[in-house]
Amino acid sequence: MYDLVIIGGGAASQSAAMYAIGKQIHFLMICEKLGGRVEDVAPTEHDFTLGKMLVHYDAPDAQDEEQHLIGSSAVHLFERQLTTQRGRILVDRVTAIERDGDGFRIVTEQHGARSSRAVIVATGAVPREPGLPGKGAAHVRILGHAATTHTSNVAGKIVAVIGMTEQALYAAAEMAQLARHVYLLTPTTTLLDSPIGAALGQLPNIQTLARAQIIDVVGTGAVEELVVEHAGRTHRIGVDLAFVDSGLQPRSNLVQSLVELDEQGFIKVDDQNATTVPGLFAAGDVTDALGEQVLIAIGEGARAAMSAHRYLLERPLVRQANR
C-alpha cells in the first residue's frame, strides 16, 4: 500500500510529487502522459525550494533564449527530476477511485488496482467547445487558462475577445494595456455587472458589444473579420487577432460520486486543498479554487501534498501497520 497516490501529470500533480519526494513520502504518480498545459522554458536560471529539497534550474541553450515563461520552466524541471525517480510514475489511465476502509483503491486501465492511504486528484480541465461558425473559426485562439500567455502578441493590434466567462473580461482589460483596440463581445449583460465590467467601461480603447451573436468568422490562415449580429444589425469587424473563452470543463468524473462538486463540476476544496472526503485532496484546474495559471497550479499542488503529508502524520499507527 502506498501512503499517497497522485493522479494527473500536469503542473499541480508534478509539484505535489516533488513535495512528496522532499518529504520522503511513499507515493505513486499515475498519469496518461507526464506534462500538462505548459509552454517553452524560461531563459534565466532560478532556484526552487520544494519540501526539503533545493533544486536549481539552469538557463536553456541559446536556441531557447526567446522563451520566457517561468511557470513552464519549473514544470519542465519537475519532469526531468521525476523521470529519474524509479518506480514513482505509472503511465496508465485511472478508471475509478473507490473508498477502501480508511484508504482508497485506485483502479487503472492496464495495471490493475493500487491501494493508498491518501489521494491527490490533479486531473485538470479542458476548454469547453466554443462552437464558433465559419472557416476562420479554426484560427481563433482559445484563451483557455490564462491571458498572460497571449498578451505580448497583441501590442498595437486590433483584437477581439469573445467572452463567456468573467476571466474573459479580465483578459480584455489586460490586453487593452498593449492593444490598439479591443472589441469585447459577450452573449449577455450579466458579466458586465461586476467591478471588472465597470472598469472596462472606463477604458477608451475597449468597445463592448453585449448580447452579441457571432454569425461568421472570416479568414484564411488568420482571422480577418468577425460577422456579428448586435442590436438588430449585422456588423463586420476587422481584427488582427481573435480570442474566445467559453469556460473550462473539469476532469472530475473520477470522484463525482465521492466528493462534493460545484454546479459546474469542479471539485470543492478548502484552504488546505482538502475535499469533503478525509484523505482525498485535489489541486489545480479541476478544483473550484481561483486561478488558471501554471504558477498557481504549482502552488496548489505543493499545498495539497503538504496537507496530505499532515493527514498521514496524524495517523502514525495506521502508517506503522502499512509500511
Helix (H, G, I), strand (E, B) or coil at 293: coil
Q: Are residues 90 and 168 in the same domain?
A: no
| Burial grade of 17 (CB within 10 A; 0-12, 13-18, 19 or more) | buried
| Total domains, the chain | 2
Q: Are residues 121 and 252 in the same domain?
A: yes
Residues 194, 166 contacting (CB under 8 angstroms) = yes
Lowest mean pLDDT across 31-35, 71-75, 164-168, 267-271: 71-75
Residues 28, 116 contacting (CB under 8 angstroms) = yes
Q: Are residues 67 and 10 in the same domain?
A: yes
State the pLDDT at residue 72: 58
Residues 296, 12 contacting (CB under 8 angstroms) = no
52: confidence class by pLDDT, cuts 50, 70, 90: very low
Residue type, 206: I
Q: Are residues 20 and 104 in the same domain?
A: yes
Q: Are residues 197 and 306 in the same domain?
A: no
Listed residues 215, 245, 275: the one ending a domain: 245
274: confidence class by pLDDT, cuts 50, 70, 90: very high
Integer CA distances (angstroms), 27 to 59, 114, 124, 128, 283, in order: 30, 11, 20, 32, 16
Q: Are residues 202 and 283 in the same domain?
A: no
| Complete DSSP assignment for 180-244 | SEEEEEES-SGGGSSHHHHHHTT-TTEEEEET-EEEEEE-SSS--EEEEEETTEEEEEE-SEEEE
Q: What is the CATH number of the domain that holds 259?
A: 3.50.50.60
Listed residues 245, 271, 289: the one ending a domain: 245
199: confidence class by pLDDT, cuts 50, 70, 90: very high
The helix (H) or strand (E) run that includes residue 246 is none
Round to whole Å and give the CA distance between 251 and 228.
33
State the pLDDT at residue 317: 52
Average pLDDT over the chain, rounded to an integer: 82
State the pLDDT at residue 316: 74
Listed residues 198, 224, 245: the one ending a domain: 245
- List, in order, residues 6 or more apart from 292 with CB less than 8 Å away: 144, 145, 146, 167, 248, 285
Q: Are residues 139 and 121 in the same domain?
A: no
State yes or no: pLDDT of 231 exceeds 60.
Answer: yes
Size (the chain), residues:
323
Round to whole Å and give the CA distance between 285 and 11.
10
Round to whole Å and give the CA distance between 41 and 55.
16
Residue type, 214: I
Strand 181-186 and strand 158-163: pairing?
Answer: parallel
Q: Are residues 8 and 120 in the same domain?
A: yes
Q: Are residues 71 and 96 in the same domain?
A: yes
Residues 164, 171 contacting (CB under 8 angstroms) = no
Residues 259, 267 contacting (CB under 8 angstroms) = yes
DSSP state at residue 34:
S
Q: Are residues 9 and 50 in the same domain?
A: yes
Dihedrals φ, ψ of 71, to 5°? -60, -45
Most confident segment among 151-165, 166-180, 185-199, 265-279: 265-279
Q: pTM of whole model > 0.85?
A: no
Dihedrals φ, ψ of 22, to 5°? -60, -30
Task: Give the number of other CB atoms < 10 A from CB of residue 228.
Answer: 21
Integer CA distances (angstroms), 110 to 9, 30, 90, 295, in order: 17, 12, 10, 32
Q: Are residues 12 and 109 in the same domain?
A: yes
- List, in order, residues 6 or more apart from 40 with CB less than 8 Å away: 64, 67, 69, 72
More confident: 202 or 60: 202
Residue 160 domain boundaries: 135-245
State the pLDDT at residue 292: 62
150: confidence class by pLDDT, cuts 50, 70, 90: low
Round to whole Å and give the CA distance between 289 and 73.
23
State the pLDDT at residue 76: 60
Q: Are residues 6 and 122 in the same domain?
A: yes
